[in-house]
């Protein structure tokens, strides 16, 4: 009995020793929840070097994604016009935001391309932006006849609202079939009449006269309805055409009349506002698709800066130009009354009867609502 009891005690002692060895076999103390344990000794007895962090990629230099390039902007009017001032604002914004990686060259006065060939050269990517009179685009889409529809808009703000809206943007998108993209609407303003024959105060005063227009079937219809002839002459050739009597007169904004000094070769001006000069800022699909995201964002912001500035300058420059024409006193200036304008509206109703179905009744209705 004593032997059995002693054997049991020896067995329990051995089991307890084995259990302690299994639980405490490691010399490293257990880690608690508040910190890390001491690093284990290596085979040489020295403390090992801490593990190295993964190498970080070098930070990209600011502006590294911006493509280096030269952008050409071509237009046909003088420097002291809303169009040119907007182009300069666009140039400044793009060059500054790109840190000089993008250079922008602005060519005014048809010094790069003229009315006849600027659209073709845009599509060929010989210029990256042009700002043509919308009347030059009527052959590409009849929607660009909108500025030529008589007395359609009452202000620059109304025109802005139309072209920024869904119907105006719909017309811009139709140019994509040619390889062009409509990027913005730049107003110049309402047009007024000058001529060398007589003051114009009634529709009958147009009878028998010949006028230079920007072209297009709607303008032809306007003048034929008034009993006058119309012919399209490049803008940079207009001063000479007026001087030589190739045409009796022309229609344009105050800023274009004053900056090109048409009052030197015309006797009479009527403040009429019957049609408008408005511009489309266009680029081409080849150029636009070649831009990466960073570069495209800079150019888009530049377009907005140019558009905002051109719009803010349009009315101001036209007002200043009218004052200069009045001060120079070289041309007799007449202004139509509201009653006179209503007579012209009624007289020109056949233009709407013919061209509303061609342009689109929904588009005309949207424009009239502005």
Tokens of residue 197, six digits: 């024959």
Separation between Cα atoms, residue 334 and residue 336, nearest integer Å: 7
CB 282 within 8 A of CB 180: yes
Checking DSSP bridges between strand 69-74 and strand 102-107, what pairing results, if any?
parallel
Residue 64 binned pLDDT confidence (cut-offs 50, 70, 90): confident
- CA 48 centroid distance within chain: 63
Residue 80 binned pLDDT confidence (cut-offs 50, 70, 90): confident
Checking DSSP bridges between strand 210-213 and strand 229-232, what pairing results, if any?
parallel
Burial class, 227, CB count within 10 angstroms (exposed 0-12 / middle 13-18 / buried 19+): middle
Separation between Cα atoms, residue 136 and residue 97, nearest integer Å: 32
The DSSP secondary-structure symbol of 54 reads P
Give the max Cα distance, the chain.
Answer: 149
User: pLDDT tens digits for 120-149?
Assistant: 999 999 999 999 999 899 999 999 999 999
pLDDT at 3 over 50: no
pLDDT at 48 over 90: no
Residue with tokens 């179905």: 357
Q: Identify the weakest region by mean pLDDT among 75-84, 174-183, 274-283, 357-366.
A: 75-84
CB 257 within 8 A of CB 84: no
| pLDDT at 81 (0 to 100) | 84
CATH class of 69-368: alpha beta
| pLDDT at 61 (0 to 100) | 56
Checking DSSP bridges between strand 192-195 and strand 268-271, what pairing results, if any?
antiparallel
Q: Which residue has the higher pLDDT, 263 or 259?
A: 263
Look over the chain and give the mean of its residue pLDDT values, rounded to a whole number: 87
Q: How far is CA 93 from CA 102, 182, 266, 289, in A?
A: 10, 20, 39, 21
Strand segments (E) across the chain:
69-74, 102-107, 129-130, 180-190, 192-195, 210-213, 229-232, 249-252, 268-271, 276-284, 332-335
| pLDDT at 62 (0 to 100) | 55
Q: Identify the weakest region by mean pLDDT among 19-23, 246-250, 288-292.
A: 19-23
Q: How much is the average pLDDT of 64-86? A: 93
Separation between Cα atoms, residue 116 and residue 232, nearest integer Å: 11
pTM beyond cutoff 0.85? no
Separation between Cα atoms, residue 123 and residue 115, nearest integer Å: 14
Q: Which residue has the higher pLDDT, 230 or 49?
A: 230
| pLDDT at 33 (0 to 100) | 36
Domain ranges of the chain: 69-368
Tokens of residue 121, six digits: 């050269």
The residue among 132, 108, 106, 134 whose CA lies nearest residue 120 is 132
Q: Which residue has the higher pLDDT, 54 or 27?
A: 54
Separation between Cα atoms, residue 333 and residue 266, nearest integer Å: 11
Provide the β-strand partners of residue 334: 270
Q: How much is the average pLDDT of 203-220? A: 94
pLDDT at 34 over 70: no
- Phi/psi at 22 (nearest 5 deg)? -65, -40
CB 106 within 8 A of CB 73: yes
Burial class, 44, CB count within 10 angstroms (exposed 0-12 / middle 13-18 / buried 19+): exposed
Provide the β-strand partners of residue 340: none
Residue 101, number of CB atoms within 10 A of its CB: 17
The residue among 186, 187, 206 whose CA lies nearest residue 198 is 206
Checking DSSP bridges between strand 249-252 and strand 192-195, what pairing results, if any?
antiparallel
Q: How much is the average pLDDT of 30-43? A: 37
User: pLDDT tens digits for 325-359?
Assistant: 999 999 999 999 999 999 999 999 999 999 999 99
């Amino acid at each position: 009995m004593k032997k059995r009891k002693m054997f049991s005690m020896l067995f329990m002692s051995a089991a307890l020793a084995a259990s302690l060895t299994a639980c405490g076999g490691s010399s490293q103390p257990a880690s608690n929840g508040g910190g890390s344990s001491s690093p284990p000794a290596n085979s040489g007895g020295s403390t090992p070097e801490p593990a190295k962090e993964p190498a970080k990629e070098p930070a990209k230099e600011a502006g590294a994604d911006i493509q280096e390039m030269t952008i050409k902007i071509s237009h046909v009017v003088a420097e002291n016009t809303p169009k040119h001032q907007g182009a300069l604002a666009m140039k400044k914004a793009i060059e500054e935001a790109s840190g000089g990686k993008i250079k922008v060259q602005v060519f005014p006065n048809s010094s790069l391309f003229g009315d006849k060939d600027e659209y073709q050269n845009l599509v060929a990517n010989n210029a990256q932006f042009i700002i043509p009179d919308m009347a030059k685009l009527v052959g590409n889409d009849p929607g660009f006849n909108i500025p030529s529809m008589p007395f359609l808009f009452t202000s620059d703000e109304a025109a802005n609202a139309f072209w920024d809206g869904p119907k105006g943007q719909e017309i811009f998108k139709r140019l994509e079939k040619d390889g062009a993209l409509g990027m913005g609407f730049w107003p110049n303003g309402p047009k007024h009449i000058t001529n060398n024959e007589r003051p114009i105060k009634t529709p009958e005063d147009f009878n028998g006269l010949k006028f230079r227009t920007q072209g297009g079937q709607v303008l032809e219809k306007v003048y034929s309805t008034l009993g006058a002839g119309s012919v399209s002459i490049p803008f940079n050739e207009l001063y000479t055409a007026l001087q030589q009597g190739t045409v009796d007169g022309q229609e344009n904004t105050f800023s274009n009349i004053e900056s090109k000094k048409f009052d030197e070769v015309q006797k009479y001006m009527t403040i009429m506002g019957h049609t408008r000069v408005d511009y489309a800022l266009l680029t081409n699909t080849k150029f636009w698709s070649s831009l990466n995201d960073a570069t495209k964002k800079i150019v888009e912001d530049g377009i907005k800066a140019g558009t905002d500035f051109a719009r803010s300058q349009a009315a101001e420059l036209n007002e200043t130009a009218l004052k200069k024409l009045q001060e120079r006193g070289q041309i007799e200036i007449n202004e139509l009354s509201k009653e006179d304008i209503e007579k012209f509206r009624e007289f020109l109703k056949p233009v709407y009867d013919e061209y509303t179905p061609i342009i689109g009744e929904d588009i005309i209705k949207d424009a009239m609502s502005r």
